[in-house]
Structure 1
Amino acid sequence: MDNVDAIVIGSGHNGLISAFLLAEKGWRVLVLEKADIPGGASKSTASNGFTHDLYAMNIGLFLGSDFYKEYKEELSENGFEPVVSDHPYASVFPDGTGIGVHQDRDRTYEALSALSQEDADSWSRLNDYFDQTAPHFMPLMKMELPSFEAGKQFWKMYRHFKISGLLQLGSQLLQSPREFVDQWFKDKKVKSLIVPWGFHLDFAPDVSNGAVFPFLESVLNQRNGMAFSKGGIQQLINSLIKGIEKRGGVVRTGTEVDEILVEQGKAVGVKLTSGEIAYAKKAVIGNITPTQLISRLLDPETLHASYVEKAENYQYGPGTMMIHLELNAPLEWTAGKEYSEYAYIHIGPYVGDLSRTYTQSLNGTLPDSPLLVVGQPTVIDPSRSPEGKNTIWIQVRALPAEVERDSLNEIEPGSWREMKEAYAERVLDKLAHYAPNVRDVLSHKIVLSPKDLEADNPNLVGGDSVSGSHHLHQNYAFRPVAGYSKYHTPIKNLYMVGAATWPGGGLNGTSGYLLANKLS
């Protein structure tokens, strides 16, 4: 293989953004992807005329990224087109009712008022507080931590809020999701509308600092609507690849890296499982996790013992199951016909259920009633399904990577290969309580267990869909490990991007963008 300036291991969107921007600066770039389909945890597959986003689907964070703002026109020319639902999210409940959020702020207020006038007013106050605070702390999510730029932003915040305002904001963001909604709302259904957003990561109801994601996502998704990529998230990935290739870069799929080559403390290239060797003059960038780095790609002897110890202690969150349904007709929700129009519907149903599920998963127990995040992309993107039919995307949170027992004593503990179909039936039983016609209109289903996720993408250890816990000890300037939060490693010219690095999971594009700009 020819020598290049930079090699990117993995074709997750952050790795592709790094490759795109470095190629823009004139670097010769090579992207190497183990899987046959590029995209990492952001890719689509076709089945029976349906298009399924296998893992990630919500592109709201990407649309707010600096990279998208700079290259929006080109990505559009390359085939990427966002579609936005004005019915972004809802929650449904066992009594046949539901509560949904509209992009129209007045309609959201009316929907909340029908349930609780006090909570509708609290929602308005929460939005006001968002407007007062988010413009000051959200820029930090696009900056390296720690950094001089971030320090300046903190200083600006101090000058704006003074010490009392900063302490108040800090106390809000350091709350658990349950503490956050208990402070703002009274009705348990309204609380259950907000809290599930934390569970998209590993912010269970009682995890400190878990309030950040529900605070941001509940407001931003209401205001901006829920955004998907028309034709599947693969269109976004393919548009990035076209941009790389236009600039002379190369993306190879079905090509697994066996080893990162290090000479005199410096990364100089990679060896493939085929035996081929590729050399990189300036950088090797891994869209990987610390455990993958030390267990698969590097001889730990080439690293400082302290780094190896930290990397070995990198922690993953609970696992995820993905279920994709092909339906001959839309779901009919007992909560009302309107719910067939929502992009995402959360079925917890309540905060206490999410808390129990999380504890069960941590203890190796199959949850009796996991959180279901039910995506209905066909409602805003008919191209994903044959005419008159629907595709349903279900994220099942949260599950143990290794199962020791079943909470209902119905499924014999074993390998996920043996259990996944039985557990998928439990999920469908739960869904059928809220959408009774699901089995009548179901023509085909695809079930991906936590182990299937890891087999497809080695970053999703144990089925952790966001490549590592986001708890306080492993977030912000501590992500992925203390002392190495700025995308570097102890090996010169070896860097990391992706969900395992700040700002973590979600299709935000930040780590790839920041690293590429730093290197070039």
Structure 2
Amino acid sequence: MQGYDAVVVGSGHNALITAAYLARAGWGVLVLEGNDRPGGLVRTDELTLPGFRHDNFSAAHPLFVAGPAYADLRAELDLEYLNTRYPTGVSLPGGRSSVVSTDLDENIVEFNRLSPGDGDSLAELFQEFGPAIETVFALCSADLTAPSSAVAIQSLMHTSDGGFSDFAHMFTLSARALLQQRFRSPELHAMLAPWATHLGRAVDDANSGTWTVLVLAAITMAGMPIPRGGSEELVKALVKLIERHGGRVQCGQWVKQVLVKDGHAVGVRTADDEVVPVRRAVVASVNPDQLYLKLLDHGHGVTPPALRKQAKDYRYGLGAFQVHLALSGPARFHDERLMHAGQPHLTGGLNAISRATNEALRGLLPVEPTISWDTPSTLDPSRCPPGRAVARLQMLEVPTAVSGDAADRIPVGSDGWTEDVKNAFADRVIDEAAKHVPGLHDIILDRYLISPRELAAFNPNCGPGDPFGGSHDLAQSYLFSPLPGQPSHRTVVPNLYMVGAATWPGHGISGGSGYIVAQELMD
């Protein structure tokens, strides 16, 4: 095969963003993807019935829309985003509910309604940490090992007299601790706490409080935007941009080896033993265990022993379970605002969220799973036939390897996520959701289930079924990601770079790592 300036291994959105920048800059770029379509976990299919288009995995793109990659590429992307006034909300037992608005003043009024003083606390929180939040968002598009990042981190964590800042204290707090410090309303605790889970952190983990605040700030500013036509429209738009500038995206081509000569990455070898020479860079959208244990060494000792051990110790987190529904009509909540919310949660409250996480960590199906609910057809009628609706119920507190049921009602054998286990757990999820959505059972036309087993089979970056591509607790985040011995997107092999969920700023549709690597390569 002919040589290229850059070969990108994998085609997740970060990989495509790097490829798009390089192609625009005149590089010869080839993207190699093992699956039948590009996009990784950004995919839209008719999973249930004809005409019902479901986002298989990721759905909304607030971090991408608010980030620099979208600002740079927007004019060349054939892509339309639809947004909502209420990015999130919560439904609790007994008809209690709330929503977050894209209007801060409206949120202050709503939070004060829930508990007098909570709205004022919200205003104080944003006033107190507003500059720090802006700095963190800027760092999400920067190499944390760069000197400028070190200066920014120093300003975040320390005061002018050398002491620790208020942000440094907040940085250590769990979501539970921060929310209980700042707000009295149980509805607020339940509405905001699950967002730590969306970022791969448990509500009782140290540092999860910081990300709860960051998500609240992000969705207040950016809402919960979704692409018209489905999440995969982002992928299609990026591929068109790459090809328009002379790049290529080739599917059905797994890469089995990164080729190294004289200590530098010089190409890749595909699964069918085709060699692709590279002149300037290999960009690998893979996790460090795959890169350092599978793609690199091949008996040649390229990876230092200490880094190889770290790659072996790379940890994955909890799994994800999704119930995709084709509905005969719109779902109705007790609180009409939730019908228009982007991704509200249905939950028993903060302690229920914590309990479900603990059960999942012990390998058990949760008794009362926290349900992230979204119905994109409310904003985008093109997702389904007229008068119908699609819904996704997502649970992020499930084990990748299930060994039992916390309620002791679902038989679980050594085979784990079997069809029987999946269907029984889906029944539980729908029964729980029906407590918040009256008449839900009556409007379900069909359903499609995705468990950690399907995630693992679809994408190697999910490991055993972790949608976030690895644990994101403190020991595997920030300058410890992707590995303590490689705290940046540059690998130990010159000309070889990493992007994707395992690298800073982590998982989610942000485009952060793709942007960071592109800027470094073009510098």
TM-score (norm 2): 0.94
Matched with 1:399 is 398
Distance 1:305 1:346 in 2: 44
Distance 2:261 2:488 in 1: 23
CA apart distance, 1:141: 1.9
Matched with 2:267 is 269
Contact 2:293 2:311 in 1 (8 A): no
CA apart distance, 1:485: 2.1
Structure 1 unmatched runs, 5+: none
Distance 2:353 2:229 in 1: 32
Matched with 1:96 is 95
Letter in 1 for 2:160: K
Contact 1:417 1:449 in 2 (8 A): no
Contact 2:5 2:278 in 1 (8 A): yes
Contact 1:260 1:267 in 2 (8 A): yes
Q: Can you list the C-alpha shifts for 1:210-235, whole angstroms capped at 9, x where unaligned?
A: 11211011232123321111111111
Distance 1:258 1:30 in 2: 16
Matched with 1:106 is 105
Q: What is the correspondence of 1:7-406 to structure 2 with a 5 Å cutoff?
A: 7-47=7-47, 48-75=50-77, 79-154=78-153, 157=156, 162-163=160-161, 166-298=164-296, 299=298, 301-333=301-333, 335-406=334-405
Letter in 1 for 2:141: K
Distance 1:60 1:284 in 2: 29
Contact 1:6 1:283 in 2 (8 A): yes
Structure 2 unmatched runs, 5+: none
Distance 1:99 1:7 in 2: 47
CA apart distance, 1:121: 1.9
SS at match of 2:367: coil
SS at match of 1:146: coil
**Greater mean deviation of Cα atoms: 452-461 or 258-267:** 258-267
Q: Can you list the C-alpha shifts for 1:405-455, whole angstroms capped at 9, x where unaligned?
A: 111112222331332122111111111111132221111111110110111
Q: 1:341 to 1:166 in 2, by over 3 A?
A: same
Matched with 2:460 is 458
Q: 1:451 to 1:69 in 2, by over 3 A?
A: same
SS at match of 1:5: strand
Letter in 2 for 1:342: A
Q: 1:157 to 1:214 in 2, by over 3 A?
A: closer
Contact 2:156 2:167 in 1 (8 A): no
SS at match of 1:487: coil
SS at match of 1:270: strand
Q: 1:278 to 1:136 in 2, by over 3 A?
A: closer
Distance 1:165 1:11 in 2: 44
Letter in 2 for 1:433: K
Distance 2:199 2:41 in 1: 14
Distance 1:429 1:84 in 2: 29
Q: 1:157 to 1:109 in 2, by over 3 A?
A: closer
2:435 is the alignment partner of 1:433: yes
Distance 1:303 1:57 in 2: 36
Letter in 1 for 2:311: A
CA apart distance, 1:165: 8.1
Q: Can you list the C-alpha shifts for 1:317-336, whole angstroms capped at 9, x where unaligned?
A: 10111221111111122x32
Matched with 1:415 is 416
Instruction: Give every structure 1 segment of 4 or more consecutive aligned residues whose post-TM-superposition deviation is greater than 4 Å.
Output: 155-159, 163-166
Distance 1:286 1:154 in 2: 27
Distance 1:291 1:63 in 2: 30
Letter in 2 for 1:117: P
Q: Can you list the C-alpha shifts for 1:330-367, whole angstroms capped at 9, x where unaligned?
A: 1122x323321111111232111111111111111111
Distance 2:52 2:274 in 1: 37
Distance 2:492 2:337 in 1: 54
TM-score (norm 1): 0.95
Distance 2:447 2:284 in 1: 33
Contact 1:91 1:349 in 2 (8 A): no
SS at match of 2:464: helix
How many percent identity over aligned positions?
Answer: 33
Q: 1:252 to 1:328 in 2, by over 3 A?
A: same
SS at match of 1:162: coil
Contact 1:321 1:463 in 2 (8 A): no
Contact 1:196 1:348 in 2 (8 A): no
Q: 1:259 to 1:417 in 2, by over 3 A?
A: farther
Distance 1:389 1:124 in 2: 40
Letter in 1 for 2:376: P
Q: Can you list the C-alpha shifts for 1:72-111, whole angstroms capped at 9, x where unaligned?
A: 1111xxx211111001111111112211122233333333
CA apart distance, 1:380: 1.4
SS at match of 1:235: helix
Distance 1:479 1:129 in 2: 29
Matched with 1:511 is 513
Distance 1:267 1:52 in 2: 39
Distance 1:264 1:363 in 2: 47
Distance 2:113 2:69 in 1: 41
Distance 2:131 2:489 in 1: 31
SS at match of 1:153: helix
CA apart distance, 1:508: 1.4
CA apart distance, 1:126: 1.9
CA apart distance, 1:175: 0.3
CA apart distance, 1:132: 4.1
CA apart distance, 1:174: 1.4
Letter in 1 for 2:405: D
Distance 2:479 2:162 in 1: 24
**Greater mean deviation of Cα atoms: 173-182 or 261-270:** 261-270
How many correspondences in the alignment?
Answer: 515
Contact 1:307 1:490 in 2 (8 A): no
Letter in 2 for 1:103: T
Distance 1:488 1:133 in 2: 27
Letter in 1 for 2:461: N
SS at match of 1:349: coil
CA apart distance, 1:283: 1.5
Q: Can you list the C-alpha shifts for 1:144-190, whole angstroms capped at 9, x where unaligned?
A: 1121111232455589x534885211101210000100110112111
2:468 is the alignment partner of 1:494: no
Q: 1:292 to 1:222 in 2, by over 3 A?
A: same
Contact 2:44 2:56 in 1 (8 A): yes
